Amino acid sequence: MLHPGLFTTLQDLGRQEGRKYGVPPGGVMDRFAHLAANSLVTNRPEAATLEITMQGPELLFLEKAVVAVTGVELEITVDDRPLPAWAALFVRAGQVLSVKRLVKGARAYLAVHGGFAAPVIMGSRATYIKSSLSGYKGLGRALRTGDRLASGPASVSHLASLAGKQWPPQRPIPAYSQSVSVRVIGGPFEEYFVEDAFEAFLATKYRLDSSSDRMGFRLNGSPLKFSLPEFELASYGAVFGTVQVPPNGQPIVLMADHQVTGGYPVIAVVQEDDLSLLAQLLPGDTVRFCRSEDSNSQGG
């Protein structure tokens, strides 16, 4: 690792085994991009990838490899030669791959054939920073300059034969944008909100707050109103995409590192297919919500 980028971690599809111990599932924020990167290099879906945030790493390859980088619009070079994203790339020993920058959006995913090696803890290799759990050498931290990443064994005898594969056009890449519309279904706590709260929620363009992180996206817009001046809820099981509303009326969307249980009223849950659009937003970007039966569209 010549340069780690701004915030690069090892991630996979998360750890469901940790829920009973109160450990968040974690894993990748953009499942579509992660799965696509693994598919391009013929990995299993659960293989670990590098989740790259905003600014990419610079990697010196000590052995030949086949890699793929997916996610938002970005610039990739191998020995300063531009190469495409969403494609399987052959890298020779001694070459340097750089993810220069993410042009629009928050995250990219780098997969290597064989998957990145890391200790499996509670069924996952996903890095959970807040508990220093798993990820690189089990240390639970972002990658640093000088780190050495290993991959699993190759499943083919000639790695170069995997190169050149591109993401198929019949499987559209999500319409990543700085202003998105995502589908939701109504939440189970209608009695805690005023009668027109859900319609107000759908009518509002929300802006992503700078305090947002992998645990939750805090949204700023017209505050939602409660029907009860005070309320107390029994804890309930939380999932990726749950839209909670704390006492200030400003929604919080639970993201990959969300807590296992929640205590605020839920006004909606984001449809799973649209979580990738949400995951790529940066502070200041905007989102609108629409009913799940409505057609998903880019723009807000």
pLDDT in tens, 100-126: 888 889 999 999 999 999 999 999 999
pLDDT recorded at residue 298: 46
Residue 128: partners with Cβ closer than 8 Å, 6 or more residues away:
23, 24, 26, 134, 135, 140, 257
Tens of pLDDT along 52-65? 999 999 999 999 99
Instruction: Give CA–CA dist 78/294, Å, rounded.
Output: 42
Q: What are phi and psi of 291, to 5 degrees?
A: -65, 150
To which residue do tokens 């929300």 refer?
206
Tens of pLDDT along 154-207? 888 788 899 999 999 889 999 999 999 999 999 888 888 999 999 999 999 999
Instruction: Give CA–CA dist 167/174, Å, rounded.
Output: 12
> Is residue 231 pLDDT above 80, yes or no?
no
Average pLDDT, the chain: 93
Q: What are phi and psi of 232, to 5 degrees?
A: -140, 125
Q: DSSP readout, 110-161?
A: EEETT-B----BTTB---BGGGTBBSGGGB-S---TT----B---SSS-GGG
How many CB atoms sit inside 10 A of residue 51's CB?
A: 29
Instruction: Give CA–CA dist 6/158, Å, rounded.
Output: 34
Q: Which two tokens stand for residue 218?
A: 């805090």
Which of 72, 73, 44, 76 minimizes the C-alpha distance to 59?
76
> Is residue 21 pLDDT above 90, yes or no?
no
> Is residue 299 pLDDT above 60, yes or no?
no
Instruction: Give CA–CA dist 30/126, Å, rounded.
Output: 13
What average pLDDT does this structure show over 14-35?
A: 93
Instruction: Give CA–CA dist 277/177, Å, rounded.
Output: 7
pLDDT recorded at residue 6: 94
> Is residue 297 pLDDT above 50, yes or no?
no
pLDDT recorded at residue 87: 97
* Reported confidence tier of residue 294, pLDDT bands at 50, 70, 90: low
Sequence-ordered strand ranges (E) for the chain: 7-11, 49-53, 58-60, 65-71, 74-78, 81-83, 89-91, 96-102, 107-112, 179-186, 206-208, 216-220, 236-237, 242-244, 252-254, 261-262, 266-270, 286-291
pLDDT recorded at residue 292: 87
* Reported confidence tier of residue 19, pLDDT bands at 50, 70, 90: confident
pLDDT recorded at residue 296: 45
Tens of pLDDT along 199-228? 999 999 999 999 999 999 999 999 999 987
Tens of pLDDT along 65-103? 999 999 999 999 999 999 999 999 999 999 999 998 888
pLDDT recorded at residue 16: 85
Local structure of residue 47 (DSSP, 8 states) = S
